[in-house]
Structure 1
């Protein structure tokens, strides 16, 4: 969506104050741990862009709360597996040898939007150390959520997703249906194959190309689970700016999806 189209979607400019008010009206509370996914263009025209969005989220959760966003870097994978941006085969060896190692402070995210990329560099934010599946976090629990991110099964146990689960956090979708927390349920269900992933990391200050086990994540399986969970009444839906926003318990979502994929039935105490 162009900036002109975003202006056309709004009857007034969205601001830090108006967005914070919308977050509170949706049910975001002081002290919340929020896993946030944002489509900035769907919010309408925002005065201050992603800066205002993050400030509004901070106003809503307060310093007692925590914001978490994915800052993925799947362009640091093996070029032999690239499909969307395929490169010639005779480039592969050079890319594997020369691609800079993942560095939480330096490596930009890709494909997760401007708001998540800004949170990555926000003062006092933390970022987990994973070459493909890092998360950025700001607030009270930022260090706990991002510390010791395991290399293998990067969206499973020990990951920032699991830490948000441990803290009984919530998921906030702003103008998007992307919901990374479902990958935690995938890993826990154990239904997916294991595949090798590789990429450049720093080991004791030296660059190394490493290969490790990863879950063969399968987002095409998500829509039926999302629909059933929403139909159960467990999702609060409202407007934030021009966008449809959805707020839900991450723990309830993950438990629901785990039950769906392991037993094929809904949890007996589902909302």
Structure 2
């Protein structure tokens, strides 16, 4: 049966088109030339005529040829299986997985749990992708290469990182049908707030090096998203988010610089 996802057609009054999404984005405040970090939950937009292609066409039309779109392109399965929990794997499987897991490849490694639009965007003509095996970003537009140029293996959300470049470029954050719990941009505020936090978590991934495929162990700053929703409530209350809709999805548009500067003082003090 034709369709672009499992959402029942009868749930909506009419289909969502490129023209409608582009108009919704403009009314919300997305402007030509903008640099926008986009989070999407496709199923909440409605029945999209054209599916992921239409959604990306609308986003590209909203920012125009001089604008740049950025999306999280995380691949959290390219990590040490010793730390997997959704689902965990047997201990005796772990060395087998480490030895057999294909090396991270920005062009071929798929995203995981990022949604259909982010995965389609990763494969979109002209899209670039950063080189972090677990928490990469993809970008399409004139500023893509500059945004993705530096993402340290052991500090992918700090300074420098794609998020810090987006902060410097005064990028916007667009959350289409998603909540603050998935707002990747808040990780920059977290890193600024907890810059000296000693707690780190071990990880590893297969990477291509001059010696071929190698398993690389590394550590990451411990991240804690449990405060993101409460911080988002403050951001909404203080008027730092512009709330509207894209299709049928509740949507927020924010300034990454403004929410970082505000959120960094809202994280609780940690050792």
TM tier, smaller: over 0.9
Q: Is the 8 A contact 1:70 1:134 kept in 2?
A: yes
TM-aligned CA deviation for residue 190 of structure 1: 1.6
Q: Once the 2 structures are TM-superposed, how far is the Cα of residue 4 of structure 1 from its aligned partner? A: 5.3
1:119 partnered with 2:121: yes
CA distance in 2, matches of 1:107, 1:260: 35
- Which among 239, 253, 258 is matched to residue 252 of structure 1? 258
- Partner residue of 2:208 out of 202, 210, 213: 202
C-alpha distance after superposition, 1:11-51 (max 9, x if no partner):
11111111001100111000110000000000000011111
Whether 2:165 is the aligned partner of 1:163: answer yes
C-alpha RMSD over aligned residues: 1.6
SS in 2 for 1:199: strand
Corresponding residue to 2:41 among 39, 42, 53: 39
Residues matched between the structures, number: 263
Partners of 1:128 and 1:6 lie apart in 2 by 36
Offset of 1:248 from its aligned partner?
A: 0.5
Gaps of 5+ in 1: 265-271
Check conservation: 1:67, 1:138, Cα contact below 8 A. yes
Deviation at 1:10, TM superposition (A): 2.1
Shift of 1:262: 6.5
SS of match in other structure, 2:131: coil
Contact 1:70 1:116 in 2 (8 A): yes
Q: 2:6 and 2:138 mapped to 1: Cα distance?
A: 30
Which of residues 212, 220, 227 in structure 1 aligns to 2:218?
Answer: 212
Which runs of 5 or more structure 2 residues have no equivalent in the other structure?
none
Whole-Å separation in 2 of the counterparts to 1:173 and 1:5: 20
